[in-house]
Amino acid sequence: MDVKIEPGWKSILEEEFDKPYFAELVGFIKSEIRGGKQVYPPGKLIFNAFEKTPFDRVKVVILGQDPYHGEGQAHGLSFSVPRGIRQPPSLVNIFKEIKDDLGVDSPQHGNLESWAAQGVFLLNAMLTVRRGEPASHSRAGWAYFTDTVIRKISEHKSGVVFLLWGNFARQKKALIDTGRHFVLESAHPSPLSAASFFGCKHFSETNRILKQQGVSEIDWKIKD
């Protein structure tokens, strides 16, 4: 199957696109749309995380669960929303932790593309969702695909910092060679668990790890 995705990722994932589960996944999404379901993000943004962070530039991974399910929120980057869309509670808490950790003021918008451009791969485990129905595509087959994505990063790169927030993300640690990479774990930034997320200092720790390897640090400040 010819999937339009950043060339570096396409080379790494080409075999996945020809597997039966992936054809079934594409068929499922098409059937949802034909049946009148609103699917987020728009088709051209499903692989946006891969476009914004080419494979050869990945140095940090922030793993989310599935896209935001409100109108206009999802644009293919975990935890991120387009400019002009109100910041969701989890993202508000991420910015609060960055301010406490690094002294960086929270931005007026929630678009994280500037992180992606620096090598922060903002991956959701599920790349689509039905409008108003969180986790509605959790059994569609995306997990097979994104688990492979994590394995490929683990196998083909070294020194990547994985930020695993919440129990769902932390389960993915089994896919990562911790002898080659760095894994930072904490509670999820959701208001339900943010009390345990605050104080994790993952942003300064990520930069410490990158600097130690001689890799350029991430500028976590989002420009308004």
Of 15, 100, 121, the closest CA to residue 58 belongs to 121
177 is catalytic: no
Query: Which of 18, 66, 147, 177 is the catalytic position?
Result: 66
The three-point CA angle 54-57-63 to 5° equals: 75
CA distances from 22 to 47, 61, 132, 141 (A): 14, 23, 24, 7
Nearest of 201, 156, 164, 200 to residue 182 by alpha carbon: 164
Residue 70 corresponds to which amino acid? G
Rounded-to-integer distance, Cα 129 and Cα 121, Å: 19
Residues carrying an active site annotation: 66
